[in-house]
Structure 1
Amino acid sequence: MADTRSSVVPEEIAQFGAQAADWWDPDGSERMLHKLNPVRLAYVRDMVDQHWQADEHSLRPLEGKTALDVGCGAGLLAEPLSRLGANVTAIDAAAPLIEAAKSHAEGQGLEIDYRHSAVEALDGQFDLVTSMEVIEHVAEPQAFLNSLVARLAPGGLLVLSTPNRTAKSRLLMITIAEGIGQIPKGTHDHSKFITPDEMKPMMAVAGLSVIDCEGIAFSATRGLHLSDDLSLNYLIAARHA
């Protein structure tokens, strides 16, 4: 059973769990995540290469390392992390998403330890901890971040992404994207978005040192892409202070 001490908001879990059936459909309810995932993965790969001084041409830079993906959904990031060589544990508080993730990974011939759990209920430590578009959905962001850090092994790397709380993110992600159905309606609560200036002190409280922060921007010509512009969404990498 998932632990609910700090991170799980039942209404959020129910909404995401209801989308499990077509999570892997690039034209389905999570099509925006399919567009976002390559951008997130490119950033994770870059941070991995820098943090462990890995060969940027290696196909498996995470060989011999453990990875934990928190709020994994149906496995959009967990699967490529496995292909990069990591021994992956991936958790989500929505049971239907874990079932969808297990089924898809089996079809791909991937061995991923998927668990229906909140991070607070998990034991062990991992070299790489990722949590993408999750912290803006939890009940207590600082407590959630502290729990992520508790799972981070000494010398490990933490990478998370989240929307910035700006007028631009409200317009593009809620008014437009949710309005036209690119993102399921009700996915986001703009008041729960966290700015980079708020996130960095939270990381310090959790015992982390931020090593990088990069934006995810959108343009008509390039689509979603990594950028110095943090006003829409951003990725942040950190290690133990």
Structure 2
Amino acid sequence: MTTTIDDAEIEKFQAMAAEWWDPNGKFKPLHMLNPCRLDYITTQIAEEFDRDIASETPFAGLRLLDIGCGGGLLSEPMARLGAEVVGVDAAGRNIPVAQAHAAQSGLEIDYRHTSAEALVAAGEPGFDVVLNMEVVEHVADPLAYLTACCQLLKPGGLMICSTINRNPKSYVMAIFGAEQVMRWLPKGTHEWSKFITPDELFDLIGQAGLEPVDRMGFVFNPITWSWRLSERDLSVNYVTASRKPG
């Protein structure tokens, strides 16, 4: 079975596994970004599947895959909204952390130490939604990885994929700023050469068999210390939505 797992990338996240739920730890940037991510994710799913986000469990009946689930920062809110959630991560140390936190939260989430390619090879039943957040910049072969994500979707399914743009600004913000100045992340967490521009990602998504339908930027405001969605500014962090034909 072929794999797009980059062992060096996995080791980085193995070392940080115990800190997933510490809002002031190494994953502080994700905790800060999470409300903005959830706003985009829930809006896209609700629109695609005609769900009332104001209802108690609007995603009931939807099967959702969270790839690169980490400690469960997205898996848990998706489960609370009623989705049947499978969370997978190639970094094995993340899974016990995610399982323990879900148990403490009274949530049933199917966490597995595996990869997208392994799920495809095992004949995993299709998902209505695949969350693919901040993963594609860490894999060895982005096209093969996105193709596996497509194969895991049911016809008509939705993939939401976020990553980091590749330009001088993203180097200053995501690597120099976040890793060296603010020290939010350990040095070497990201490799600028692996960042993907929005046009490149749209092209890869299309090659993988999906139809891109939307993209937005995640913009950080250093004055209010908060994130917001932007239709125009995709210069650093951004997110896309794409649909599997059928």
- Aligned match of 2:188: 186
Shift of 1:166: 1.4
Q: How far has the Cα of 1:19 moved from its partner?
A: 0.6
CA contact (8 A) 1:6 1:138 kept: no
Is residue 2:61 matched to residue 1:64?
A: yes
Counterpart residue type for residue 69 of structure 1? D
The runs of at least 4 consecutive aligned structure 1 residues that moved more than 3 Å come to none
Asked whether the equivalents of residues 25 and 184 of structure 2 are also in contact (C-alpha less than 8 Å), the reply is no
2:198 counterpart of 1:196: yes
Map of 2:207 onto structure 1: 205
* 5+ residue gaps, structure 2: none
**What is the TM-score normalised by the length of structure 2?**
0.94
What CA deviation, in whole Å up to 9, does each residue of 1:148-184 have, x standing for no partner?
0000011211101000111111101101110031122
SS in 2 for 1:61: coil
- Secondary structure class of the residue paired with 1:178: helix
**TM-score of the superposed pair, with normalisation by structure 1:** 0.96
Q: Counterpart in 2 of 1:214?
A: 216
Deviation at 1:233, TM superposition (A): 0.9
Q: 2:229: which partner in 1?
A: 226
Could you say what secondary structure the match of 1:236 adopts? Answer: strand
Q: How many residues matched?
A: 238
SS at match of 1:136: helix
Question: Which of the residues 5, 8, 12 maps onto 2:5?
Answer: 8
- Structure 2 distance, partners of 1:64, 1:225, is 29
Residue in 2 aligned with 1:158? 159
Deviation of the 1:56 alpha carbon: 3.1
- 1:210 Cα offset (Å): 0.9
Amino acid corresponding to residue 135 of structure 2 in structure 1 = V
Which deviations, in whole Å up to 9, do the C-alpha atoms of 1:50-82 show, x marking residues without a partner? 101211312322101100000111111100110
The alpha carbon displacement at 1:221 in A equals 3.5
Aligned to 2:170: 169
